[in-house]
Amino acid sequence: MDINELINLSDYELAVELAKGNIDLRTLAKVRPDPVARKKVREMSRNVDLDREKREEERRWAIVKKNCELDELEAFIDDYPNSIHAAEARGMIARHEELQHWKQAKDSDDVGKLQIFINDYPRSEYVKEARSLINEIKNRARNRQFRLRELAMDIDGFQRNKLLTDEQVETGIKNAIMRRLNTNQISKDDFLSLLKEDNNLLNAHMINVLINVNVITPGDLSDIGIDDRFIYKLTRNAAPQNYDGEYRPLEKIDWSSTEVYFWGVPSSGKSCAIGAILSAAHSGNVAKSIISNNASQGYGYMNHLKDVFRPDMVISLVAGTAKTCFYEMGFTLVDNDNKKHRITLIDMAGELMQCLYKKDADEGQLTDADKTMLGTLNKVLVSNRTRSRKMHFFVIEYGVEDREGQTTQDTYLRGAMNYLRSLNIFKDDTDAIFIMITKADKAKAESAAEFRNYIQSHFKGFYKDLCQICEENEINGGRVESLAFSLGNVCFQNYCLFDPRSAEFVVKTLIDRTPAERSGFGKWFSK
Ligand SMILES: Nc1nc2c(ncn2[C@@H]2O[C@H](COP(=O)(O)OP(=O)(O)OP(=O)(O)O)[C@@H](O)[C@H]2O)c(=O)[nH]1
Ligand SMILES: [Mg+2]
């Protein structure tokens, strides 16, 4: 007991402490500085019945021990700090604390908190239970992760399955989610964590379907950190922007310019990249001005793509390019030195790559659509081939290597490239071959090292083959250049907060790498 506590004791209580030897005369002098009062306490102490005090202490202890309540144990220690039962009382208090910590750790269902309990109470009888709880939680987390991965792969499978109708895709995805939720294989929070991890897991339409059947709410999406502007767009049911202009099949490229071809599997981001490039070319940030070639077969499509990509606002992206369609989009870029660069971008449906792969592997029957696409390709790059300079962008969609049971992007790209090589399309007039990694925003670290490493890990053979094509055809000193490309922040697959920086870099590359015609002279300078 410290002095302050002793001051609050009555004279009799002080006399008892003195009789028991818990305080000495010096301490008493501090508590009762008045000699008369002190004397009174000393006389009282001589008359204290210690046996009676002892009996009182034992009676209290019997009750406290039986009740085993924390506050009673603490009060006992306060009142009888030197009791022979004090050690036992302190032990009981420690056990109380241990139990309380154990209860909190157990109820927390948290590996970290259970581990802290084990560290703090290594000899506790609950350590074994804590360890098995940790294992159980880790197992549960693994199973949960496994089920979530499985769901993500099922969703992706439905979305990529070109044999299904839109309704079948919608029902398939809805059932895959609801079945797991209804059988408690995953919780709503689990599902939301999947959406949080990948904002592009589902497209805007599918998210709206799930909102309509009350699986999720717009508020849930806001809670997982999705920008309200995307949610606003969603609630207005904004759909991808279809191009509904008339389509005239492409026979040849009838305009002397550097032809830039974009090769890539379906949904790899070709049309979006081209739209973003067109928008950046029009912005005035890189090129001084741009004059579109209104005689281009894809003139209407070019205007549509350019108009979609408006910076600093949430836009609805373009819908997939219709099978068999080839669009040729010509324009003249005027650079800062007033030199003109005549460029034609060629957008092709991704199915063409699968068809080229089929041809290379001599696998499966060609459909009518395949024959149409091959026919156009043959006209544009073989029989009606121009003598214009050419560049090729091989588009690689970032981060889709873990898809199982599907032909990989690498296989398609290599097959298609082999077939293109056999058609001799890289000969004579090719100035550059690029690898463009699209959807680069999906990478954990958007660094040059990350993307170099990505190509090394997943596309090494393809990259080397392209280098060999460059060597064989004396293209760009045998070098294939790679660039990472992103539209900015893409959400629900169909909406985007467009950041033009990647596209501006491509426009700058096009200006740097295409022949320039001096304004007014109409003359081409060879590279
Ligand atoms: N995260 C992210 N997603 C993108 C990006 N670019 C495109 N996407 C997504 O990819 C989808 C397909 O893009 P498209 O440009 O239509 O792909 P494509 O290669 O033209 O496809 P096909 O015309 O079918 O061959 C878009 O709807 C977006 O959801 C990007 O930079 N980042
Ligand atoms: Mg497309």
From the CB of 482, is ligand 1 less than 6 Å away? no
CB 500 within 8 A of CB 283: yes
Q: Using 50, 70 and 90 to split pLDDT, how confident is the model at 176?
A: very high
From the CB of 159, is ligand 1 less than 6 Å away? no
Closest ligand 1 atom to residue 486 Cα is 31
Q: Which of 14-18, 195-199, 327-331 has the lowest mean pLDDT?
A: 14-18
**Closest residue (by CA) to atom 16 of ligand 1?**
320
Distance separating alpha carbons of residues 120 and 104, to the nearest angstrom: 13
Residue 527 pLDDT exceeds 50: no
Length of the chain: 527
From the CB of 330, is ligand 1 less than 6 Å away? no
Distance separating alpha carbons of residues 97 and 74, to the nearest angstrom: 12
Taking the CB of residue 36, how many other CB atoms lie within 10 A of it? 7
Residues 37-52: what's their mean pLDDT?
A: 89
Residue 489 pLDDT exceeds 50: yes
Q: Which of 232, 221, 203, 332 is nearest to 278 (CA)?
A: 332
Distance separating alpha carbons of residues 393 and 277, to the nearest angstrom: 13
What percent of the chain is modeled with pLDDT above 70? 98
Give pLDDT tens digits for 436-448: 999 999 998 888 9
Closest ligand 1 atom to residue 268 Cα is 19
Distance separating alpha carbons of residues 368 and 313, to the nearest angstrom: 41
Chain position carrying tokens 């392209």: 466
Ligand nearest to the CA of 263: 1
Distance separating alpha carbons of residues 261 and 413, to the nearest angstrom: 14
From the CB of 373, is ligand 1 less than 6 Å away? no
Give pLDDT tens digits for 260-272: 999 999 999 999 9
Q: Using 50, 70 and 90 to split pLDDT, how confident is the model at 294?
A: very high
Alpha carbon of residue 370 to chain centroid: 35
**Closest residue (by CA) to atom 32 of ligand 1?**
439
Give pLDDT tens digits for 132-174: 999 999 999 899 899 999 999 999 999 988 889 999 999 999 9
From the CB of 409, is ligand 1 less than 6 Å away? no
**Closest residue (by CA) to atom 10 of ligand 1?**
269
**CATH of the domain spanning 258-448+490-518, picked from 3.40.50.2300, 3.40.50.300, 3.40.30.10, 3.10.450.230:** 3.40.50.300
Q: What is the pLDDT of residue 519?
A: 59
Q: Which of 69-73, 79-83, 94-98 has the lowest mean pLDDT?
A: 79-83
Ligand nearest to the CA of 204: 1
Quote helix, strand, coil % in the chain, to nearest 5. Answer: 55, 15, 35
Q: What is the pLDDT of residue 243?
A: 87
Residue 303 pLDDT exceeds 50: yes
Residues 8-25: what's their mean pLDDT?
A: 89
Residue 520 pLDDT exceeds 60: no
Q: What is the pLDDT of residue 236?
A: 87
R_g (Cα) of the chain, nearest Å: 39
CB 493 within 8 A of CB 397: no
Closest ligand 1 atom to residue 266 Cα is 25
Q: What is the pLDDT of residue 405?
A: 66
CB 349 within 8 A of CB 373: yes
Residue 124 pLDDT exceeds 50: yes
From the CB of 275, is ligand 1 less than 6 Å away? no
From the CB of 487, is ligand 1 less than 6 Å away? yes
Q: Using 50, 70 and 90 to split pLDDT, how confident is the model at 522?
A: very low
Q: What is the pLDDT of residue 401?
A: 80
Alpha carbon of residue 4 to chain centroid: 60
From the CB of 200, is ligand 1 less than 6 Å away? yes
Residue 521 pLDDT exceeds 50: no
Residue 432 pLDDT exceeds 60: yes
Q: What is the pLDDT of residue 100?
A: 94
Tokens of 2: 């410290």
One-letter identity of residue 454: Y
Tokens of 260: 């830039």
Q: Using 50, 70 and 90 to split pLDDT, how confident is the model at 321?
A: confident
- Three-state SS sequence of 312-351: CCEEECECCCCCCCEEEEEEEEECCCCEEEEEEEEEECCH
Residue 239 pLDDT exceeds 90: no
Q: What is the pLDDT of residue 250?
A: 95
Q: Which of 217, 200, 210, 148 is nearest to 173 (CA)?
A: 210
**Closest residue (by CA) to atom 2 of ligand 1?**
439
**Closest residue (by CA) to atom 3 of ligand 1?**
439
Residue 523 pLDDT exceeds 70: no
**Best residue among 267, 326, 496 to mutate for probing ligand 1, ranked by most atoms within 8 Å of CB:** 267
Sorted by where each begins, the domain ranges of the chain are 3-102, 142-235, 258-448+490-518
Q: Using 50, 70 and 90 to split pLDDT, how confident is the model at 55?
A: confident
Q: What is the pLDDT of residue 404?
A: 64
Q: Which of 3-12, 122-131, 289-298 has the lowest mean pLDDT?
A: 3-12
Give pLDDT tens digits for 83-101: 999 999 999 999 999 999 9
CB 284 within 8 A of CB 278: no
From the CB of 416, is ligand 1 less than 6 Å away? no
DSSP notation for 83-149: -TTHHHHHHHHHHHHHHHHHHHHHHHT-HHHHHHHHHH-TT-TTHHHHHHHHHHHHHHHHHHHHHHH
Distance separating alpha carbons of residues 317 and 300, to the nearest angstrom: 17
pLDDT, mean over the chain: 92
